[in-house]
Amino acid sequence: MAQNVEAALPDKYKNMSEWYTEILERAEVIDIRYGVKGFIVYRPFGMILMKNIIKLFEEELEKTGHKPFLFPVVIPERNLRMEKEHIKGFEGEVFWIEKGGYTPLEERLALRPTSETAIYPIYALWFSSYKELPFKGYQTCAVYRYETKATRPLLRGREFLWIETHNVYFTEKEARDQTVEDAEIFYKVATEKLGIPFLHLKREEYDKFPGAVDTYAFDTLLPDGRVLQIGTTHYLGTNFTKVFNVVVHDEEGNLVNPHSTCYGIGLSRILASILLIHGDEYGAVLPFDIAPTQIVIIPIYKAGFENKEIDKYCNEIHESLKNEGYRVIFDNSEKTPGEKYYYYDMRGVPFRIEIGPKEVQTSKVTVFRRDTRSRETIPLEQLKEYIVKTKDEILKNLREKAEKRLKDNIIEARTKEELIEAFKKEGRKIYKVFFCGRKECADEIKSVLEGLETRGTPINEKGEGPCVWCGEPGHICYLAKAY
């Protein structure tokens, strides 16, 4: 069926919410009509994109010694209740299974909101000697949280996809170093391969993962000026290994609790960030490596010239690019070229090759580049080289634009007056201030400045000064409104 060419999308910087709703539907990323609040359907385009993102992270995790495993989705209530801070943090968000068929269960089962309490009782059985450590394990799965805030597709759902690692170390140093490696893995994939920049922050004490000693988070900036947490890594100390009785003997034969970390990679949110940060009024703009379709070939038939000639030329190009291992489509369907352009632009296909009589007669190809929306006609024999070179340029272009926007949206404020004044003028941005670390100050800032939250201390910047709110000694902290 021919699809009509619809109007362009709204400006995402002016109306992000509408832009986002439109693209999810028009590009067929997900279906929001499942009928259960907070649950969505990943359509084939969205799921292929997701699998390509997952692959990049899994490769990086396995390169750094992480082994895959899969734990059950249900967690017995007694496990979940063992770590006191942990259950306090999650209790209000747990989905419970209470019955099997007609029979009430002897013990309620939780749908995992995160898997520490599923995994540690088994770790207690797996490890007995320091020689078995470190152990680095991960799983890619869905987790369930009964969100009471308004849900938004991919950004905040009651079911979402993530990768979680659960690592165990003999020493504190190794465990703390892991949180640094986690950030490096995140940078390698999110920024270097997906073009998504982020702030690497240490969360404030009152804002840590329930049960963690230290929490580090990765926040990116969305077009509406809000930040989105897309990953976190936590040093858990011996909190979980103690509670779940994970014990190993050291060289002298003493029994000790090892140290542990966990790391969450927010896959659903990363997918949303890629769409929101790189997209434009024509739809998604995707880095070549993750695009479900990387190249589309479109014939431009003309009266007075044999269609068969054009098809033959297109077929040859199609075969040769397929042999290079690219995901390439030759679309000679009934739709008009304009309808096809609309369709593939919306889905972020990085390269479109247009072939008309002129290209066939001169052995050339016209290539349209999705990110810059520019066209170039080049000799056919240079096509492969062009793609290899230009796919990297696309990523570089997307990344640089996103990095510049993040940098340009950080505003410094030294005093309460300066901060209030700046917020009045600039609205939703990231504010760089000194902050005392007290929750009372954070709560006041949040209520006075319409939801502005303390997001934590940047890892790569050191500095001290008087708290922007109360004047007491403080550290550098970023403030932003968050999803």
Binding site for Zn ion (CB under 5 A): 436, 441, 467, 469-470
**Which CB, 212 or 479, lies closer to Zn ion?**
479
In whole angstroms, the minimum distance from the beta carbon of 430 to Zn ion comes to 19
Q: Which of 256, 261, 255 is nearest to 116 (CA)?
A: 261
**Which CB, 360 or 436, lies closer to Zn ion?**
436
**Which CB, 287 or 474, lies closer to Zn ion?**
474
Instruction: Give the count of beta carbons closer than 10 Å to the beta carbon of residue 483.
Output: 15
Q: At what angle do helices 267-278 and 16-26 cross, to 10 degrees?
A: 110
Distances (CA, A) of 244 to 126, 147, 178, 354: 12, 27, 21, 62
In whole angstroms, the minimum distance from the beta carbon of 411 to Zn ion comes to 19
In whole angstroms, the minimum distance from the beta carbon of 431 to Zn ion comes to 14
Cβ(314)–Cβ(355) under 8 Å?
yes
Q: Is 286 helix (H, G, I), strand (E, B) or coil?
A: coil
What lies within 8 Å, CB to CB, of 54 at 6+ separation is: 140, 163, 267
Q: At what angle do helices 172-186 and 44-63 cross, to 10 degrees?
A: 140
**Which CB, 160 or 478, lies closer to Zn ion?**
478
In whole angstroms, the minimum distance from the beta carbon of 452 to Zn ion comes to 14
Cβ(205)–Cβ(249) under 8 Å?
no
In whole angstroms, the minimum distance from the beta carbon of 262 to Zn ion comes to 30
Residue recorded with tokens 């109360």: 470
**Which CB, 438 or 481, lies closer to Zn ion?**
438
**Which CB, 18 or 440, lies closer to Zn ion?**
440
Distances (CA, A) of 50 to 73, 251, 292: 20, 44, 9
